[in-house]
Amino acid sequence: MIIAPSILSMDFSSMESQLKQVKEGGAAWLHFDVMDGHFVRNLTFGPDLLKGVRKLSDLVMDVHIMVEDPAYFAPVFMDAGADGITFHIEACKDLDEARTILSLIRSKNKRAGVSLRPQTPIESLYPILDECDMVLIMSVNPGFGGQAFIEDSLKRISELRQEIQRRGLSVLIEVDGGINKTTGKACQDAGADVLVAGSYVFKNDIPEAIRSIM
């Protein structure tokens, strides 16, 4: 199980110390929630923060762009040091635009992912599933940290895992929202590969919290 602590919940006054604790806990990735204030009603990080964290950590930089214009922002964050970019299918006017962005990301040898809001049917991305390296299932409504896990997400994870296996694909399933020891185990059992955890990691003993959901 890959754990990707979300820096949305990090104490930036202790960033260097907390990054060390994240690595001590065994996390392999760091998750960046980029919000533009339009696609979701919150405003978070720009590329300069990613550049700074990149200097302090050798973990995989997993960037989730919740923005209205993913075709513009994907290259910005790839240039800043992202190892993977995940964008929202709802931000694309059609599947052809999603395909173009996926191709752009993969052309830079980065991991290309697509994300869905909880209300978006999982089947809507099946036509482009073989062009994805990862699918991010939001288990809360995107925009703010600290929300409760939406239980119906487990069914969505399971259905997606079955479709991936049926087609013989190697697409990772990432889950973000309300992840803790209990929900993390449930997601793993449903077929998740990557768990994003923010509040649960950074509001508790960081190494211990990470190890409890691995």
Q: Which pLDDT score, from 0 to 100, does residue 144 have?
A: 67
Q: Which pLDDT score, from 0 to 100, does residue 204 have?
A: 96
Of 94, 176, 189, 193, catalytic: 176
Of 33, 36, 133, 193, catalytic: 33
83 catalytic residue (yes or no):
no
Q: Which pLDDT score, from 0 to 100, does residue 145 have?
A: 67
48 catalytic residue (yes or no):
no
Enumerate the β-bridge partners of residue 117.
none
pLDDT in tens, 113-170: 999 999 999 999 999 999 999 999 999 987 666 678 999 999 999 999 999 999 999 9
pLDDT in tens, 59-112: 999 999 999 999 999 999 999 999 999 999 999 999 999 999 999 999 999 999
Instruction: Look at residue 119 and give its three-state secondary structure.
Output: coil
pLDDT in tens, 21-50: 999 999 999 999 999 988 887 889 999 999
Beta 172-176 vs 134-138: how paired, if at all?
parallel
Q: Which pLDDT score, from 0 to 100, does residue 64 have?
A: 97
Dihedral over Cα of 70, 71, 76, 78: its sign? positive
Closest CA to 160 of 184, 140, 138, 183: 138
Q: Which pLDDT score, from 0 to 100, does residue 147 have?
A: 78
pLDDT at residue 52 tops 70: yes
How many CA atoms does the CB half-sphere of 24 hold within 13 Å? 12
197-to-61, 111, 189 alpha-carbon distances in Å:
14, 20, 17
